[in-house]
Amino acid sequence: MDLPTRLILQNSAWAADTSARDPALFRQLAEGQQPRVLWIGCCDSRVPAERVTNAVPGELFVHRSIANLVSADDASVMSALQYALQVLKVEHVIVCGHEACGGVRASLLPPTGDESAADNYLARHI
């Protein structure tokens, strides 16, 4: 079975299991979100915010980027921050780094000269 098909099947199984454990959860989530935390983390696949915090759906408002950067000239993170604070009224903002971050490592190395999107992003935001 190919990966996308497996992920879709696992999502369906997760939804069914979650609904069986808490039949009202999806109805409550459809009414809107009220997370208390904005979690700004790395987009590294090894560090999923909900998994490493054992959070349930609706607890975290998550923004992920390479090296979990927060820069005033990054419209994406600033939009998430503004929305979280002004609209969602989150109480806490966590910027979470992790060990062996490839984005942080890349930002500390000299530019590769290949003008990659990641190099350009890191150069602009560090």
Q: pLDDT by residue (tens digit) across 13-47? A: 999 999 999 999 999 999 999 999 999 998 888 88
Catalytic residue among 74, 96, 98, 119: 98
Q: DSSP letter at 111?
A: P
Q: Is 73 a catalytic residue?
A: no
* pLDDT one-digit tens code per residue, 63-105: 998 888 888 999 999 999 999 999 999 999 999 988 888 888 8
Of 6, 27, 36, 46, the active-site residue reads 46
Q: How many other CB atoms are there within 10 angstroms of residue 35's CB atom?
A: 19
Residue 30 near residue 52, CB atoms below 8 Å: no
Known active-site residue 46: yes
The whole-number pLDDT of residue 112 equals: 67
Contact of 43 with 63, CB cutoff 8 Å: no
Q: Among 86, 70, 87, which Cα is nearest to 78's? A: 70
Which residue of the set 96, 101, 119, 125 is catalytic? 101
- Show the tokens assigned to 30: 């459809």
Contact present, 39 and 49 (Cβ < 8 Å): yes
Q: Which of 6, 17, 21, 44 is catalytic?
A: 44
Provide the pLDDT for residue 67: 86
pTM for this entry: 0.82
Residue 96 designated active-site: no
Rg over CA atoms, the chain: 17
